[in-house]
Amino acid sequence: MSFTEEIENYSWSTVKEQIYSKTADDVRKALSSNQPNLEDFQALISPAAAPFLEEMAQKSQALTLQRFGKTIQMYAPLYLSNECQNICTYCGFSLDVKIDRKTLSDEEILNEVSVLKSYGYDHVLIVTGEANRTVGVDYFKNAIRLLKPHFSHIAMEVQPLDETDYRELIEEGLNTVLVYQETYHKENYKKHHPKGKKSNFNYRLDTHDRMGRAGIHKMGVGVLIGLEDWRTDSFYAAAHLDYLEKKYWQANYSISFPRLRPCAGGVELKSIMSDRELVQLICAYRIFNQEVELSMSTRESESFRNNIIKLGITSISADSKTDPGGYANPNVNLEQFEIHDKRSTASFIQAIKDQGYEPVFKGWDKVLQ
């Protein structure tokens, strides 16, 4: 049994209709429940919940404080390669996008490490495109070996791998894997991923089952907001999370909310999510699940990020570079996307402290696996 079978229990159109027919009473019930379920989650992300946003924010804040205290975990993405054999209609690394391609050598990786360490980072997130021949399991093993002496926690956001690959990487010291389904709408997924290994919807959908069986410590789930109706897609992500938590109950989980922005020449978006709606989604997740890590990148603006740390987010990056080698030698021609909040790490952690929160750099230890 894996999530490709579980997902058959849901029909996209029915789920969508359920969400859009939720009423204020359903939202009130969800807000007063001690143990919100997936149906309550539907109410919390529905249009009917919009007038309850402040109440949701209050509840999300209180639940987050109770579980996590006034702390925010800091992490830094480390782009190792922008080579990619996939075509993804929305991505700056897509095979058909004319950019310079680069995969970091050992020396270049260590140069990046020096910069990240000088900023204080201890949790690192490896990011690559999908180029299995040059940037496959052997490359990742080597990278983890290089990084391990310098970081307490190593996460990766790369192509989905086989169970045995995950086992080997965990052995090397990998702690966390983030794989976002992008969209749970199968037909639309095919449209956005017409070429490359990534076009296999089901292989990607079962990735978390493979890493769960391999015994990964933490896994990340999410959708690329904008490819489909964000409410319906987010429901599927929550159902995925719910399924995984029950099945791989010794693992930890993380959710993030990458939001595509409309831009000239870019992919046509199915839905555009407002700031208000993003806050609604974040709070809905927290009310639905008190333990899950809610993570935010530098895609969002300075002001949004300043405010959101009090509302349920527990993990955040700052001063990120999305071009391989960009911390030591920035090169915009290699970027995946342009980040929005460009403050330095030092200035961002000051902003966290100004809100009365503690930025945490080390929240894990090498001895834990």
Partner 1 sequence: MNADKLRIGDKTFNSRLFTGTGKFRSNKEMEDALTVSGSELVTMALKRVDVDNSEDDILVHLPKAKFNWLPNTSGVRTAKEAVFAAELAREALDTNWIKLEIHPDPKYLMPDPIETLLAAEELVKKGFVVLPYIHADPVLARRLQDVGVQAVMPLGSPIGSNKGLRTDDFLRIIIEQADVPVVVDAGIGAPSHAAYAMELGADAVLVNTAIAVAKDPVQMANAFRIAVDAGRMAYHAKLGVASSQANASSPLTAFLD
Binding site for partner 1 (CB under 8 A): 28, 31-35, 52-55, 57-59, 61, 246, 249, 275-276, 279, 303-304, 307, 310-311
Nearer to partner 1, 13 or 274 (CB): 274
Pairing of strands 358-360, 315-317: unpaired
Residue 95 C-beta: closest distance to partner 1, Å: 38
Nearer to partner 1, 72 or 125 (CB): 72
Q: How far is CA 256 from the centre of its chain?
A: 4
Residue 311 C-beta: closest distance to partner 1, Å: 6
Residue 55 C-beta: closest distance to partner 1, Å: 6
Cα-flanking dihedrals φ and ψ of residue 252, to 5°?
Answer: -100, 160
Nearer to partner 1, 55 or 157 (CB): 55
Structure tokens at 359: 């930025």
Q: Identify the helix (H) or strand (E) that includes residue 66.
A: helix 53-68
Nearer to partner 1, 279 or 339 (CB): 279
Nearer to partner 1, 163 or 302 (CB): 302
Residue 32 C-beta: closest distance to partner 1, Å: 5
Structure tokens at 282: 């974040």
Handedness of CA 118, 143, 104, 302 (dihedral sign): negative
Residue 53 C-beta: closest distance to partner 1, Å: 5
Nearer to partner 1, 54 or 138 (CB): 54
Q: Is residue 152 a contact partner of residue 121, using CB atoms and an 8 Å limit?
A: no
* Of 271, 344, 279, nearest in space to 308 by CA: 279
* Of 336, 333, 337, 338, nearest in space to 100 by CA: 333
Handedness of CA 199, 203, 208, 211 (dihedral sign): negative
Residue whose pair of structure tokens reads 């949701």 in the numeric block = 56
Nearer to partner 1, 13 or 35 (CB): 35
Residue 104 C-beta: closest distance to partner 1, Å: 38
Beta bridge partners of 255: 221, 294
Residue whose pair of structure tokens reads 């997924």 in the numeric block = 189
Nearer to partner 1, 40 or 122 (CB): 40
Q: Is residue 126 a contact partner of residue 140, using CB atoms and an 8 Å limit?
A: yes
Residue 36 C-beta: closest distance to partner 1, Å: 11
Residue 111 C-beta: closest distance to partner 1, Å: 38
Structure tokens at 104: 């970091």
Residue 278 C-beta: closest distance to partner 1, Å: 9
Residue 299 C-beta: closest distance to partner 1, Å: 17
Nearer to partner 1, 43 or 88 (CB): 43
Q: How far apart are CA 90 and CA 161, in angstroms?
A: 22
* Of 282, 197, 275, nearest in space to 234 by CA: 282
Question: Which residue type is seen at 111?
Answer: N
Sequence-ordered list of residues with C-beta below 8 angstroms from that of 156, at least 6 positions apart, any chain: 125, 126, 127, 140, 169, 174, 176, 177, 178
Residue whose pair of structure tokens reads 């990340």 in the numeric block = 220
Residue whose pair of structure tokens reads 């009090």 in the numeric block = 310
Sequence-ordered list of residues with C-beta below 8 angstroms from that of 242, at least 6 positions apart, any chain: 38
Nearer to partner 1, 61 or 89 (CB): 61
